Structure 1
Amino acid sequence: MNRRRIDPLFQFLGIGALLFAAAGLVRPYADNERTIRVTRAELESYLAAGGGESLAPLARAGGGTPTLDRLNEEQRRALVRSYVEEQALYREARDWGLEDGDLVIRRRLGQSIRFALRPDVASDPGDAVLRRFYAAHAGNYRRPVETSFDHIFFGSERRGGAQARADAQAALRAGVTDWRAGGDRFAYQRSYRNAGPSAIEAQLGEGFRKALEQLPVAPDRWEGPVASDAGYHLVRVSARSAARTTPFQDARPAVLDDWQRARQNAELERAVEGVIGRYRTAVDVDVLPLPEAR
């Protein structure tokens, strides 16, 4: 029987065609991976997430939901270009396996998943639940000692430390007449009203805050010199309120906000633990002496 010899080139092409067809069956989505489809919904979602940079604010109607209707044709073309570029670079980076080898990318993707898992804010549970939360976290709604005072500042940078202190002592002995015009210009207020410890310490330093707590409430009497981080001060304390817990009804908006945040965080952590639980963890013995598998 006479058999016709098949050219090796056609054999090669035939095998290649079969492999290509098989690849299409095994991975039918390959063409979709090479196609970036741009829809209105995708672009408006992209804008809502801050994509498109300067175009995102333009697409918001009065600060509301972004819409393409607020963009002209040129702006839409620029938006499409930005979206396509981002999608193309993302897919290329994924094909290169960068999400596996780049710590920053892995961390960002993990943060994105946490954000996606975050539950909606719970509705107001009512006073009974909030009162229990308020009682369990009463320290969060306690107002510290608040002090109202005036001061005259003598700066160490301008006068030198020793001279600033001496000038403050001299002013106190001479008697204060126009306290607003005395001393040096101060970076913050000359008068503080209902100032808490953290605000006082942030602007005048811990030493001043501690000394201020020891001064008597005497609206007509100047005390000092009191040292601060910036110099010396003559101080007149006009009022001081004791530390106190804010009543529930006054604190209720803050209590509700704290309760909702705590509930949301707890539900998020449960969701994260659920994701982690779907994976088995194998720890090398040189990392932990007793590896655990999950």
Structure 2
Amino acid sequence: MRLFRSVWGQFVIIGLGLFLLDRSLFPEPKPVIGPPNAERVSLQAEALSQLQGAELTEAQVVAIKEREIRDELLFIEALDRGFIEQDQVVQRRLIRNMRFMDPEREVDDPTLLTEAVELRLYLADEVIRRRTVQVMETLIVASRGNPTITEADLQVEYAAQRDNFQVPVRYSFTHVFLRDDASDEKRSKLLARLSDGASPEQAREVGDVFLAGYQFKERSVLEISRQFGDAFAYDFASRAESLGQWVGPVQSIFGSHWVWVDDIAESRVKSFAEVAQDLRRDIRRDLDDQAIQDWVDSTLQQYEVRL
């Protein structure tokens, strides 16, 4: 009670109250992160625009900027944790960069490393930046622990993605090829052999050379199209009805083909056993990505973000 009655006590109480009021009304400013490097954003936007063949939407541009902020945060936080002092790969690169800048200088590695750190060369090295971000991501995932992915989780994911596991009809075939400028005599010899029931090997003796080969195993229509062109792929698929028969001539971007159908594997859905490992890998990757994003979202609360 004497404290409250004394002048000095009242000064202390008033001072403490003003201090707390100041902190509540005028908190310490947060460190600023961003805006992202305009050149990096521009290069990524240009590359994505070319890939999709259209101008980017505002949402896509914002997503690029947010990704840059995310990587910048991971980079900064890794540096604050002494990453440069701990990673030998980064240190060797910094030393190599220093020697490249002055190859005639005779200085030991520790000195060069010290100078590189003092010059903050790591800030301008894209390779070091990428490695730093990747290592920080690994540390975040490792700190989360090993997630449990049950058989039930895999079954649920399999059911959700079942349409993605559709395997298209696949054709195995052998062909005989003739160029468009082949002589009538050569064409007649080939047709005669086919009429006599010649095997694919016998028929090829009077055909032209086809550099991509003659036997093709388990190819989908899309894969056949990539090799021979759309016209060939869809014409062949529409006419290949049974095994052990010739289909042709079928026209391609190269010339004329007579195709012997070896096998037709009907369309099917891959079994759970076939895709279980892929599902487990995909789920784990999604969990890792979510763990990193949760960490980023939480840590960004400590910063003033400028896009």
In which range does the TM-score fall when normalised by the shorter chain?
A: 0.5 to 0.7
Q: Within 5 Å, give how 1:1-294 maps onto structure 2.
A: 85=109, 89-102=112-125, 105-119=128-142, 122=146, 125-154=149-178, 156=179, 162-164=180-182, 170=188, 173-176=191-194, 177-181=198-202, 182=204, 183-283=207-307
Shift of 1:229: 4.2
Equivalent-residue separation in structure 2 for 1:121 and 1:197 (angstroms): 44
Q: After superposition, what is the alpha-carbon deviation per residue over 1:115-142, rounded to whole angstroms, capped at 9, x for unaligned?
A: 4434488466222111111111223322
- Structure 1 letter corresponding to 2:122: E
From the superposition, tell whether residues 272 and 224 of structure 1 become closer, same or farther in structure 2 (CA, over 3 Å): farther
Q: Please list every run of 5 or more consecutive structure 1 residues that lacks an aligned counterpart in the other structure.
A: 1-32, 37-41, 53-83, 157-161, 284-294
163-172 or 233-242, larger mean C-alpha shift: 163-172
What letter matches 2:201 in structure 1? R
Please give the TM-score of this superposition, normalised by the length of structure 1: 0.54
Structure 1 169/184 Cα, relative in aligned 2: closer, same or farther at 3 Å?
A: closer
> Are 2:140 and 2:291, in contact at CA under 8 Å, matched by a contact in 1?
no
- Aligned residue for 2:201, secondary structure, equals coil
Amino acid at match of 2:302: R
- SS of residue in 2 equivalent to 1:217: coil
- Measure, in 1, the Cα distance between the counterparts of 2:184 and 2:279: 50
Equivalenced residue count is 203
Displacement after TM superposition at 1:146 (Å): 1.1
Whole-angstrom CA distance in 2 between matches of 1:185 and 1:278 = 68
Uncovered stretches (5+) of structure 2, i.e. residues with no partner: 1-81, 93-107
1:245-274 Cα deviation digits (max 9, x unpaired): 112233322222222222223223323333
Task: Tell me what 2:21 maps to.
Answer: none
Moved more, 246-255 or 125-134: 246-255
> Structure 2: how far apart are the matches of 1:168 and 1:255?
53
Query: Aligned letter for 2:173?
Result: F
CA distance in 2, matches of 1:251, 1:212: 30
Q: Which amino acid aligns with 1:93?
A: A
SS at match of 1:175: helix
Check whether the contact 1:165–1:225 (CA below 8 A) recurs between aligned residues: no
TM-score by length of 2: 0.52
Higher RCO by CA contacts (8 Å cutoff, separation 6 or greater): 2
Please provide the CA RMSD for this pair. 3.8
**Which residue identity is paired with 2:119?**
W
Larger proportion of helix: 2
Cα deviations by residue, 1:86-133 (Å, 9 ceiling, x for unpaired): x65554333223333455554443344334434488466222111111
Q: Where does residue 56 of structure 1 map in the other structure?
A: none
Q: What is the alpha-carbon distance in structure 2 between the residues aligned to residue 271 and residue 110 of structure 1?
A: 13
The share of aligned pairs that are identical, in percent, is 24
